[in-house]
Amino acid sequence: MKKVGAMLIGLLSVILLVACSQQGASKKSTASSSKTTTSSEVKKTDASSSEVKEKEKKEEKKEVKKMDLEAIANGDYSSIAGVWQDDKGNKLVFNDKGLVSQELEGYGASLTDYGTASEGIYGGRDGGFLLEYIPAGVSIGDQVDDQGQVVFKDSSDATKNRLWSGVGQASFAEQGSFYYHVGDQ
């Protein structure tokens, strides 16, 4: 009887060992397929990540180049170099030294108290005009005359760098025109 009991215990041990080894193999297979899934998920994430990086690069290219007022006031116009145009089709062209024109001449910009730079432009058929350099993010408040009438309302796109021109003696004493950067020279 002891021999039969020992044989039964041995048989049960073998059955348990076989069952456990099959379960371990199944776990390894599951773990392996789990790794495969994870690996493919990582690949998808990598692809999504590179798509996001590409999109960010494109957005950076669209990002507005900062208008450097300090440099402009010091005679370096490189931050606004290119062609600027108003809604009437008038164009102003700048290189790194300033306005490019045979008829018009600027006499140096200076910084203002309201976050812009201002410059007198002389020449042309009207004798000249005032030019204001307004960086993206800066809005100009409504300007009123002595009677309280609004003479200037900033209707420009404050998300973009822009130039404002007017023929009055003071900045924004009239509605004037806004110019936007439309391209390189």
Do 114 and 147 lie in one domain? The reply is yes
Do 5 and 91 lie in one domain? The reply is no
Do 46 and 107 lie in one domain? The reply is no
- Going by C-alpha positions, the residue among 67, 85, 90 that lies closest to residue 77 is 67
pLDDT mean across residues, the chain: 75
How far apart are the C-alpha atoms of 128 and 105, rounded to whole Å?
A: 9
Do 21 and 81 lie in one domain? The reply is no
- In the numeric block, the tokens 């806004």 are attached to 178
* Cut 0.75: pTM above it: no
- Give me the helices (H) in 63-147, please: 69-73
Do 51 and 15 lie in one domain? The reply is yes
pLDDT at site 20:
47
Instruction: Using pLDDT thresholds of 50, 70 and 90, give the confidence band for residue 184.
Output: confident
Of 63, 80, 114, at which residue does a domain stop? 63
pLDDT tens readout for residues 125-178: 878 889 999 999 998 888 888 888 887 788 899 999 999 998 765 555 556 789
Q: Distance of CA 138 to CAs 28, 41, 53, 130, 149, Å? A: 63, 45, 29, 18, 23
CB 90 within 8 A of CB 177: yes
Structural domain span for residue 21 = 1-63
pLDDT at site 91:
95
The total number of structural domains that make up the chain: 2
Do 19 and 58 lie in one domain? The reply is yes
Q: Which of 11-20, 46-55, 61-70, 144-153 has the lowest average pLDDT?
A: 11-20
Do 1 and 55 lie in one domain? The reply is yes
Of 50 and 163, more confident: 163
CB 152 within 8 A of CB 143: yes
Do 7 and 75 lie in one domain? The reply is no
